[in-house]
Amino acid sequence: MSELDTTVESPDDDRVNEVTQSGLMDVDVLWLTAGLSCDGDTVAMTAATQPSIEEVLAGIIPGLPRVRFFNPVLAYEAGEEYLRTFHEASEGRSRPFILIVEGSIPNEELNTEGFWAAMGTDASTGQPITTCEWIDRLTPHAWGVLAAGTCATFGGIHAMSGNPTGCMGLVDYLGMDWRTRSGLPVVNVPGCPVQPDNLMQVLVYLLKQAAGRAPEIPLDDLFRPKWLFTQSLHEGCDRGGFYEQGDFGSEYGSPKCIVKLGCWGPVVLCNVGKRGWINGIGGCPNVGGICIGCTMPGFPDKFMPFMDEPPGAKMSSSAVLVYGRTVRALRSFTLGSLDREPDWRRRGSTLSTGYQPGGGSSEPPANPAVSRATGPSHEDPEQ
């Protein structure tokens, strides 16, 4: 990308200078899509709204450095013109940069000839520059490194049992002890694809940290941002109330809990149930899709076969069923009562609200709505 075409300068240079007194003033974002992937994380990123990539590049978010963005899917440039910044960065001649890696990292050591993945050609040898070579060249110079999506974080679908490439996540490739020059490990944001706002939020956090406006990003022991991957999907799921009542859907399209259709939500760290997908809307269980554990290191092998009830869920859902049916029956009874107005709200010559003329008090009438309930509601607890 040429600088002129890709740089969206902030309209307020004074603000930028102020922002960067204690940190970096300009940061490039170099996005390597040359891992084994479908480019789905790049596509997902374009759907982010909190914030959007356009807002970051337009410089309208306070506290961020000026950002130039290099991603082949979005670039106008191609070939050597596009690669120029990557070459400069790999030689330590560029602005400070955050490297985003998308796709799993193939094991080129397994090759007797050829290569698994590459981007561009080395002018000195005329040979393709493999993805692994780009990682080896770029990571020593990067201010920060972000692995976007489950392929780059943990290996993902390409790294499943029986694959021929021996591919892996970026941390598998670089090692758990690897750190950037700024002392950061690879920041892992899993998801297949990554949840759009999760990715942009983490990128913005790193940019703010680079600008000296945020403390070091809090990560768990697998280098995932803690605030995104601490709770299970189940703990934030819209359908959790159905689960608690042992009310399980048996076919797609059911509004009930879909654990028996194969949802792994109770044991998967993912915030999509709460965050939704685009602009707060959507997200797998919210729209009827079972969770197949795509954010997890064990994905996909440990979650297959998809669409079978998870083995662990059989016991817990059976236990919940006994308790849940009882709770549901009792709640139906109470709901049947609460769903009616109190009896004193009617026409007639008799006042039955419990009012005593002269200010005296009387026992308020027993809640007629409840006491006069005639039994469980019509909901069938035996589903």
- Least distance (Å) between residue 369 CB and ligand SF4: 31
The residue (of 163 and 254) whose beta carbon lies closer to ligand SF4 is 254
Binding segment (CB under 6 A) for ligand SF4, from list 68-76, 93-101, 293-301, 356-364? 293-301
Helices (H) and strands (E) in the chain, counts: 13, 7
* Residue with Cβ nearer ligand SF4 (23 or 283): 283
Judged by CB, which is closer to ligand SF4: 20, or 271?
271
Nearer to ligand SF4, 61 or 321 (CB): 321
Inter-residue contact 257 to 239 (CB < 8 Å): yes
**If you write DSSP's letter for every residue of 367-382 in order, what string do you get?**
-HHHHT--SS-S--TT
Measured from the CB atom, is 96 or 265 closer to ligand SF4? 265
Stretch that binds ligand SF4, among 102-110, 120-128, 196-204, 286-294 (CB under 6 A): 286-294
Cα–Cα distance for residue pair 378/115, rounded to 1 Å: 66
Could you tell me how many residues make up the chain? 383
Choose between 26 and 235: whose C-beta lies nearer to ligand SF4: 235
Q: Residues 221 to 260: which contact ligand SF4 by CB under 6 A? A: 233-234, 237, 239-240, 243, 257-259
Which residues ranging from 162 to 191 are in contact with ligand SF4 (CB under 6 A)? 191
Sorted by sequence, the CB contacts under 8 Å of residue 152 that are 6+ apart come out as 35, 37, 41, 101, 102, 103, 104, 105, 169, 170, 188
Give strand pairing partners of 104. 36
Contacts of 12 (CB under 8 A, 6+ apart): 59
Given 72, 156, 169, 293, the residue binding ligand SF4 (CB under 6 A)? 293
Q: Which residue is nearest to ligand SF4 (CB)?
A: 265
Looking at the Cβ atoms of 34 and 292, the one nearer to ligand SF4 is 292
Q: Give the nearest distance from C-beta 149 to ligand SF4 in angstroms.
A: 11
Closest C-alpha to 3, from 65, 75, 90, 111 = 75
CB-CB neighbours of 362 under 10 Å: 9
If binding is defined by CB under 6 A, does position 291 make contact with ligand SF4?
A: yes
Residue 93 or 314 having the CB closest to ligand SF4: 314
What is the x/- site pattern for ligand SF4, positions 253-272, by CB under 6 A?
----xxx---x-xx-x-x-x
Site size with ligand SF4, rule: CB under 6 A: 23
Residue 252: both structure tokens together: 């797609």
Q: In sequence order, what are the beta bridge partners of 269?
A: 232
DSSP letters, 54-98, are: HHHHTT-STTPPEEEEE-TTT-S--HHHHHHHHHHHHTT-S--EE
User: Residue 98: which of 46, 139, 132 has the closest Cα?
Assistant: 139
Considering only the stretches 43-51, 134-142, 154-162, 287-295, report the one whose residues sit in contact with ligand SF4 under the rule CB under 6 A. 287-295
Which of 16, 146, 170, 284 contacts ligand SF4 by CB under 6 A? 284
Per-residue tokens: 352: 């039955």
- DSSP reduced 3-state for 218: coil
Which of 20, 139, 295, 332 is the binder for ligand SF4 (CB under 6 A)? Answer: 295
- Between 143 and 243, whose beta carbon lies closer to ligand SF4? 243
Residue among 36, 292, 320, 373 that touches ligand SF4 (CB under 6 A): 292
Rounded distance between C-alpha atoms, residue 75 and residue 81, angstroms: 10
Q: Which is nearer to ligand SF4, 83 or 237 (CB)?
A: 237
d(CA 344, CA 114): 85
- As a dihedral over the C-alpha atoms of residue 155, residue 45, residue 228, residue 25, rounded to 10 degrees, the angle is 110
Residue span 9-48 as binding mask against ligand SF4, x where in contact by CB under 6 A, dash where not = ----------------------------------------
Binding residues (CB under 6 A) for ligand SF4: these are: 191, 233-234, 237, 239-240, 243, 257-259, 263, 265-266, 268, 270, 272, 284-285, 291-295
